[in-house]
């Protein structure tokens, strides 16, 4: 089907019923990701892709004959560029006394936004427009009124084959309160594999807590298509065209007093079939300087780190909001001198996001390991998180901010000893001679039961802790009462081994 059109999908055609031609009712299991699915005639459905979307989509459904359900079936839809007209959205801008830029907010599945032509159909009534109205942002509105007013223009876009719907830009003339600040957005960089799509998520904050919203702004993408993401107002979906390697998308944020303020998303398209970079050498590091940078790698994951001597650091890289690096630390790394993870984070980004500086989430094999937090620091120092005592699995690192953050891998400050191989370092193990990491310590002298030859129950309270079954491996009580009897007779009534 073509973008901008709707497709009727029947139920009776692809479904059969051995019990005869009874009416079939569809039951949707999962809805499409890039469009909407509504009811159609004869129990079928009508699929409509999101404005501007080009690419694959799918949903699942099953049929019900009044008695039984069928198995779920997958419907795959390929949305082609076709000759769909542009689609434009209503928007609002605020003018604060010195004029405000006006830009169309449109998408087109088969024509770059820069190649569209735009025409103002109506307005404005209380001001003047200078410059050419289009995606370049040259048009500027200036109010003729010295008091707060609301003005508007109506416009449409054309791609040479069809015209868009009519869209309205509402212009609110006002003045910000003293000290009020505009929204801010950190610079961002997104990576997407060729042949796939990525959701570009705006990541702005307003220092004053004023409500704000987003619009597209120049430059528009030139090497791919942009479509809306259903149910989200802060993101669009980017799909690169074949052969694209670099692209960029402009967007803007505006609150009731400022806007639109423009920001930029850099986009890198990489080949998922190309071998990921492997780094086999790096400068030496010391415990005093464990995070010596070796290789910068701003490419998208996966990034594999080859086996290396523990006297060398691993690469320095970058990770971004929504991007994950799959770091494979093989068994060749000495488990007694593991790698550590040092995170250097962009302070300005975290201040803009309103989260504690230095906070990241660390995942291993998909499970969260720990958080690394340096709260209250204006410029966060490197923080250490989660030593991999047995680095035999994958590590996934996910950033909280769109701004590029830097991770480093280096030596641990000191070797970790684990004499009994129970996964607990000797420094934290109260009984390094026993492989049981959960040693009891009834007399609370810092030694686990299996390592403490002097440990005996000295009070009935210790018997109630559930530790009455074994003491020192020498005394075995069949129940809590035997333990209490032992304490009451001051050890004279000893249990049998």
pLDDT tens profile 267-285: 878 776 764 443 333 333 3
Are 216 and 202 in contact by the 8 Å Cβ rule? The answer is no
| Better pLDDT: 305 or 165 | 165
Strand intervals (E) in 115-202: 117-122, 127-130, 140-143, 149-158, 167-173, 188-193, 198-201
Can you tell me the distance from the alpha carbon of 39 to that of 46, in angstroms, rounded to the nearest whole number?
Answer: 6
Which positions ≥6 away from 63 have C-beta within 8 Å? 11, 15, 17, 24, 25, 26, 27, 69, 70
Can you tell me the distance from the alpha carbon of 456 to that of 483, in angstroms, rounded to the nearest whole number?
Answer: 10
Kindly state the average pLDDT of the residues 467-485: 62
Q: How far is CA 86 from CA 197, 247, 359, 424, in A?
A: 20, 21, 42, 62
Angle at 335 between CA 330 and CA 336, to 5 degrees: 155
Are 334 and 358 in contact by the 8 Å Cβ rule? The answer is no
Asked whether the predicted pLDDT for residue 196 surpasses 80, the reply is yes
Are 64 and 25 in contact by the 8 Å Cβ rule? The answer is yes
User: How high does pLDDT run on average in the chain?
Assistant: 65
Break the chain down into helix, strand, coil percent, rounded to 5: 5, 35, 55
User: Both tokens of residue 144?
Assistant: 């003729």
Are 452 and 472 in contact by the 8 Å Cβ rule? The answer is yes
**Helix/strand/coil for 353:** helix
Q: How would DSSP label each residue in 179-199?
A: T----B---EEEEEETT--EE
Instruction: State the burial class of residue 400 (Cβ atoms within 10 Å of its Cβ: 0-12, 13-18, 19+).
Output: middle
SS3 track for 306-361: CCCCCCECCCEEEECECCEEEEECCCCCCCCCCEEEEEECCHHHHHHHCCCCCCEE
Among 67, 65, 75, 78, residue whose Cα is nearest residue 12? 65
Among 8, 197, 163, residue whose Cα is nearest residue 83? 163
DSSP at 113? G
Among 186, 190, 237, 236, residue whose Cα is nearest residue 215? 236
Q: Which of 36-50, 118-132, 137-151, 441-455 bottoms out in mean pLDDT, i.e. has the lowest?
A: 441-455
Residue 129: which pLDDT band, with cuts at 50, 70 and 90?
A: very high
Kindly state the average pLDDT of the residues 139-147: 81
Can you tell me the distance from the alpha carbon of 131 to that of 285, in angstroms, rounded to the nearest whole number?
Answer: 58
Among 88, 177, 167, 170, residue whose Cα is nearest residue 127? 170
| Better pLDDT: 360 or 113 | 113
The pLDDT value recorded for residue 121 is: 94
DSSP at 460? H
For tokens 């569209």, the residue is: 116
Residue 133: which pLDDT band, with cuts at 50, 70 and 90?
A: very high
Kindly state the average pLDDT of the residues 24-35: 81
Q: β-pairing, 246-254 with 261-270?
A: antiparallel
Kindly state the average pLDDT of the residues 95-121: 84
DSSP at 399? B
User: Residue ranges of the domains in the chain?
Assistant: 7-79, 87-173, 189-270, 278-411
Are 303 and 297 in contact by the 8 Å Cβ rule? The answer is yes
Can you tell me the distance from the alpha carbon of 62 to that of 378, in angstroms, rounded to the nearest whole number?
Answer: 55
The pLDDT value recorded for residue 282 is: 33
Asked whether the predicted pLDDT for residue 297 surpasses 50, the reply is no
Task: Indicate the CATH number for domain 189-270.
Answer: 2.60.40.10
Asked whether the predicted pLDDT for residue 337 surpasses 60, the reply is no
| Better pLDDT: 462 or 68 | 68
Asked whether the predicted pLDDT for residue 147 surpasses 50, the reply is yes
Cis peptide before 124 (omega within 30 of 0): yes
Rg of the chain, C-alpha, whole Å: 32
pLDDT tens profile 357-407: 443 444 333 334 343 333 333 333 333 333 322 232 223 333 322 222 333
Q: Which of 33-37, 291-295, 313-317, 410-414 bottoms out in mean pLDDT, i.e. has the lowest?
A: 291-295
| Better pLDDT: 226 or 157 | 157
Task: Indicate the CATH number for domain 7-79.
Answer: 2.60.40
Strand intervals (E) in 345-445: 360-364, 367-372, 383-385, 394-398, 405-411
Kindly state the average pLDDT of the residues 51-56: 80
Cis peptide before 136 (omega within 30 of 0): no
The pLDDT value recorded for residue 105 is: 87
Residue 466: which pLDDT band, with cuts at 50, 70 and 90?
A: low
The pLDDT value recorded for residue 146 is: 64
The distance from CA 260 to its chain's CA centroid, rounded to whole angstroms, is 26
Can you tell me the distance from the alpha carbon of 334 to that of 387, in angstroms, rounded to the nearest whole number?
Answer: 12
pLDDT tens profile 402-448: 222 333 333 233 345 667 766 666 666 777 766 655 566 655 566 77
Kindly report the backbone phi and psi dihedral angles of residue 158, in degrees, each rounded to the nearest multiple of 5, phi listed first: -140, 140
Domains 7-79 and 189-270 equal at CATH topology level: yes
Q: Which of 52-56, 91-95, 287-291, 476-480 bottoms out in mean pLDDT, i.e. has the lowest?
A: 287-291
* The CATH fold of domain 87-173: Immunoglobulin-like (2.60.40)
The pLDDT value recorded for residue 477 is: 67
Q: What percent of the chain has pLDDT over 90?
A: 6
Q: How would DSSP label each residue in 23-90?
A: --EEEEEE--SSEEEEE-GGG-EEEEEPTT--EEEEEEEEEE-SS-B---EEEEEEEB-TTPPPEE--
Asked whether the predicted pLDDT for residue 262 surpasses 50, the reply is yes
Can you tell me the distance from the alpha carbon of 88 to that of 112, in angstroms, rounded to the nearest whole number?
Answer: 14
The pLDDT value recorded for residue 3 is: 77
The pLDDT value recorded for residue 427 is: 63
What is this structure's pTM? Answer: 0.37
**Helix/strand/coil for 481:** helix
Kindly state the average pLDDT of the residues 74-97: 82
């Amino acid at each position: 089907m073509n973008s901008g059109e709707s497709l009727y999908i029947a139920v009776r055609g692809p479904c059969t019923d051995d019990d005869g031609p009874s009416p079939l009712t569809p039951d949707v299991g999962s809805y499409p990701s890039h469009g909407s699915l509504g009811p159609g005639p004869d129990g079928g459905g009508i699929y409509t892709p999101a404005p501007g979307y080009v690419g694959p989509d799918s949903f699942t459904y099953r049929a019900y004959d009044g008695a039984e359900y069928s198995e779920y079936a997958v419907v795959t839809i390929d949305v082609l560029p076709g000759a769909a007209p542009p689609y434009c959205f209503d928007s609002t801008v605020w003018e604060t006394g010195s004029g405000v830029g006006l830009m169309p907010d449109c998408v087109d599945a088969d024509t770059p936004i820069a190649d569209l032509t735009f025409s103002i159909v109506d307005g404005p009534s209380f001001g003047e427009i200078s410059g050419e109205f289009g995606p370049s942002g040259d048009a500027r509105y200036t109010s003729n009124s010295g008091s707060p007013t609301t003005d508007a223009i109506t416009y449409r876009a054309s791609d040479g084959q069809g015209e868009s719907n009519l869209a309205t830009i509402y212009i609110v003339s006002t003045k910000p309160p003293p000290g009020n600040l505009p929204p801010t957005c950190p610079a961002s960089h997104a990576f997407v594999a060729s042949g796939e799509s990525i959701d570009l998520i705006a990541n702005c904050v307003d220092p004053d807590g004023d409500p704000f919203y987003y619009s597209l702004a120049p430059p528009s993408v030139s090497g791919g298509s942009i479509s809306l993401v259903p149910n989200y107002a802060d993101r669009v979906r980017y799909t690169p065209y074949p052969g694209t390697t670099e692209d960029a998308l402009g967007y803007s944020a505006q609150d009731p007093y400022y806007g639109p303020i423009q920001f930029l998303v850099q986009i890198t398209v990489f080949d998922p079939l190309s071998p990921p970079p492997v780094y086999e050498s790096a400068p030496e590091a010391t415990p005093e300087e464990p995070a010596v940078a070796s290789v910068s790698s701003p490419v998208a994951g996966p990034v594999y780190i080859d086996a290396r001597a523990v006297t060398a650091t691993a690469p320095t890289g970058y990770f971004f909001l929504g991007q994950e690096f799959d770091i494979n630390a093989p068994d060749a790394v000495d488990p007694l001198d593991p790698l550590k993870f040092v995170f250097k984070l962009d302070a300005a980004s975290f201040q803009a996001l309103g989260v504690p500086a230095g906070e990241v989430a660390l995942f291993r094999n998909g499970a969260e390991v720990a958080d690394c937090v340096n709260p209250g620091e204006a410029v966060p120092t490197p923080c250490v998180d989660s030593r991999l005592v047995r680095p035999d699995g994958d590590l996934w690192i996910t950033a909280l901010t769109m701004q590029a953050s830097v991770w480093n891998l280096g030596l641990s400050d000191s070797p970790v000893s684990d004499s009994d191989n129970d996964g607990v370092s000797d420094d934290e193990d109260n009984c390094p001679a026993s492989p049981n990491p959960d040693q009891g310590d009834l007399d609370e002298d810092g030694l686990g039961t299996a390592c403490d030859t002097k440990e005996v129950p000295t009070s009935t309270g210790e018997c109630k802790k559930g530790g009455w079954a074994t003491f020192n491996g020498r005394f075995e009580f069949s129940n809590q009462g035997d333990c209490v009897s032992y304490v009451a007779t001051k050890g004279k009534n000893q249990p049998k081994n």
